[in-house]
Amino acid sequence: MNRRVMIFGAPLLLAGCSTTTGPSLAPMSYAPPAPTIDPVHAAIYAAQEGEPFPVPAIDLSRIVDPKFLRREVDYGTAETLGTVVVDPNERFAWYVLGNGRAVRYGVGVGRVEAFNFQGDATIAWKAKWPKWTPTPDMIARDPERYGPLRHGLPGGPGNPLGPRALYLHRDGRDTFYRLHGTVEPWTIGTKVSSGCIRLLNQDIIDLYDRVRDGSKAIVLPIRGETMA
């Protein structure tokens, strides 16, 4: 099961509101306050207008850790403007802005290390509301689940790629790995996918608008492994 964080925001409960004293009094119980939502992030992750299908607001209280929300950060790298760098160890992706800065996004990565793509790739093309088709490996691993979908699922609500996808190619060939949205925003920051790199829907829309076809993408190796 995917890891989720449940936030309990109930008001303070008092065991007693009288002047009665004595050892029989029950101890006071309480729940921790709900986290304060940054208004900047509340606006970033609001429902998206102008889409052919709904892109609802993200319930930020369900995000595993606020560090996985989008922000511009310092990022020292020799990579050029427009490069996308993914670190599956830290569960982050960076879009290089240049001058030591980048936009950082939280990501979900492959639940098994062997599923994760590693190395350099080219974002050969990108798509809005893409069709999703399970890979031959996915069908082989779980034919009962993926076999009926071998001809693909059209874009729209419920499609696991979400509203956008960036397609990674290497040496002119499709790697079958993508950066894409998700129907499970609470999984960002976890090992969850069949290998693709998932972002919050508002984040993949933002990244899609920044990235050009033919841009470089780098997926760093899992620590302790050799880059493919």
Q: What is the CATH number of the domain that holds 177?
A: 2.40.440.10
Q: Does residue 151 lie in a domain region?
A: yes
User: Which structure tokens are listed for 35?
Assistant: 């986290």
pTM of the complete model: 0.80
Residues 6+ apart with CB under 8 A from 120: 170, 216, 217, 218
Predicted pLDDT of residue 18: 28
C-beta neighbour count of 184 within 10 angstroms? 15
**Inside any domain, residue 115:** yes
Q: What was the pLDDT predicted at 16?
A: 28
Residue 117 CA to its chain's centroid (Å): 16
What is the pLDDT at residue 73? 98
Residue at 40 is within a domain: no
Task: Return the pLDDT at 10.
Answer: 32
Classify residue 92: in a domain, yes or no.
Answer: yes
Which residue numbers are catalytic?
A: 180, 196
- Chunk the chain into consecutive blocks of 10 residues (it has 228) and report each block's average pLDDT, rounded to whole numbers: 35 28 45 70 96 95 88 97 96 97 95 75 97 86 88 91 97 94 93 86 98 96 59
Q: Which residues, in sequence order, are CB contacts of 226 under 8 Å at separation 6+?
A: none
The boundaries of the domain holding residue 118 are 59-219
Beta bridge partners of 164: 128
Q: Does 187 map to a domain? A: yes
pLDDT, residue 224, reads 59
Q: Which long-range contacts (CB under 8 A, 24 or more apart) does 86-89 make?
A: 86/179, 86/197, 86/217, 86/218, 86/219, 86/220, 87/220, 88/116, 88/197, 88/219, 88/220, 88/222, 89/220, 89/222, 89/223
Q: Is 200 inside a domain boundary?
A: yes
Is 207 inside any structural domain? yes
**Would residue 4 count as lying in a domain?**
no
Domain count, the chain: 1
